Amino acid sequence: MKYSPNEDLFKDTTMTFGEHLEELRRCLFLAVIGLVIGVIIGLAVGRWVVEFIQLPLTDALTEYYQKQALSRFEILSDDMGKQGLALPYTAESFEKMVMEEELLPEVVWVDPKAVPGASLPPPSASAAKNALATGPRRAGLVPLFFWRPAAESDKLRPTALNAQEPFFIWMKASVVAGIVFSSPWVFYQLWIFVAAGLYPHEKHYVYIFLPFSLGLFLAGAFLAFFWVFQPVLKFLLEFNSWLGIETEPRISEWMDFALMLPLGFGISFQLPLVMLFLERIGIFTVKAYLEKWRIAIFVIVVLSAVLTPADPNSIFLMAIPLVFLYFGGVALCHYLPSGNRERPVRA
């Protein structure tokens, strides 16, 4: 599009500082209204959100305790074999019960002479906690196995230290769900504010950037929930096991991790659009992005360490997509028409 040298290039887009503030106030007000409506919806479904967010933790803990049971059974079987004793299960049958039937064993040591034919009551948690790991410490004692469906095991349920903690978790989950529900409207208001300062022929980019921005946010959040949680939890649980520390996850700590990590991913995935914005206002150029790519990767790794639990898995699971998005942002700045035009020379 060509412009006459005598044409006022800013006649349709020039806004005073006060008009910019008024537009910002209007967009913020509408965004907050949408956010409030989203939170109200979140309050209605908060319970299901809490249950849904616990699924990755439950799956990771189930796998952790299954592997732990198999490892301890192998140790116990070796100890019993050295004493010329046999367990009531073979390795294959035990693995089938644990992995296929999803049962978790609890073991207590009993004196067979003191046990009549009647069945024994289930052991307490403290008595069964380390039974498989300790092995037969006293002569004449034999292991007695109690089986419980993994879904009913107390080990898989996060704990709360006080009565009000679950309530605040429900509130936090509802607010985060409200942010996700209202994100299309909030992003729309953000881009409406940006569009107010664009030239008429550039305003159609808003309808490109809006779904792009929303898609990146949701992609980051879903990536964190469905791809990052499992390897991160697996690493942390195995590391705790290596240190000999039993894991009893608290509901508040898990929810902070499960709610904030997807938001961190969603916000960080706006990187290409931030790069495009900085390039359009003249702070950076495509050449500068390419020349400073090493510094950019360093900043990405540091940012990943801040927005994640800082374990190696979560850092790299965030940093690797962001590196690709960085170079995608460079390509976006290079190939997307900027609409820049020369200003008229005034006499």
DSSP string across 288-303: HHHHTHHHHHHHHHHH
CA pair distance 290, 278, nearest whole angstrom: 14
Tokens linked to 7: 């044409």
> What's the pTM?
0.66
- Regarding predicted confidence, which is higher, 284 or 23? 284
Tokens linked to 229: 């949680």
Per-residue pLDDT, 327: 92
Where residue 68 falls among pLDDT bands split at 50, 70, 90? confident
315 pLDDT more than 50: yes
User: 318: closest CA among 254, 223, 230?
Assistant: 223
Place of tokens 């374990």: 311
Crossing angle (nearest 10°) for helices 206-223 and 312-335: 170
**What H or E segment, with its residue span, contains residue 222?**
helix 206-223
Nearest 10 degrees: Cα torsion 25, 29, 34, 40: 150
Mean pLDDT of 96-118: 77
Tokens linked to 126: 């403290």
Where are the strands (E) in 271-332, listed by range? none
Who contacts 22 (Cβ-Cβ below 8 Å, separation ≥6)?
none
Mean pLDDT of 35-54: 89
317 pLDDT more than 50: yes
For residue 194, with 0-12 CB atoms within 10 Å meaning exposed, 13-18 middle and 19 or more buried, which class applies?
middle
- Give φ, ψ of 236 to 5 degrees: -65, -40
Encode pLDDT of 123-146 as tens digits: 444 444 444 544 444 556 777 888
